[in-house]
Amino acid sequence: MKLIQSSKSLERDVGDLTFSNEIDLASSLEGREMVFQLTSRDRNELRLIEEAIFRINEGTYGACESCEKKISLKRLQIMPLTALCIECQEAAENL
């Protein structure tokens, strides 16, 4: 009888450990997903910076890539990496 109780107790403990390990695994995967998202966001920002530097070197920084009109100074001060004027940006977002 004692052996059966010990066996059942051991099964419960193993079950608790398995559940705990599943939670740890889920937390770890969630953490990795967050790191990937941050890395992806950082890569996108780096790409935008490189594109802005390219436009500066080409002498086209501040000109809208779509309509070629000047991007307002106020917009460039707020969003220095933008390549579109406000009108073209809004049109692109409404597609």
pLDDT of residue 42: 84
Q: Are residues 44 and 3 part of one domain?
A: yes
pLDDT of residue 41: 83
Report the alpha-carbon distance of residue 13 to residue 46 in Å, rounded.
49
Q: Are residues 91 and 55 part of one domain?
A: no
Q: Are residues 70 and 41 part of one domain?
A: no
Q: Are residues 78 and 49 part of one domain?
A: no
Q: Are residues 66 and 29 part of one domain?
A: no
Q: How many residues does the chain have?
A: 95
Q: Are residues 66 and 55 part of one domain?
A: no
Sequential DSSP letters for 4-33 = HHHHHHHHHHHHHHHHHHHHHHHHHHHHHH
Q: What is the pTM of this model?
A: 0.57
pLDDT of residue 16: 52
SS3 22: helix
Supply the DSSP symbol for 84.
S
pLDDT of residue 20: 57
Q: Are residues 49 and 79 part of one domain?
A: no
Q: Are residues 93 and 70 part of one domain?
A: yes
Structural domain count, the chain: 2
pLDDT digits (tens, 9 = 90+) for 1-59: 555 555 455 455 545 545 556 666 566 667 677 767 777 888 889 899 999 999 999 99
Domain that holds residue 35: 1-59
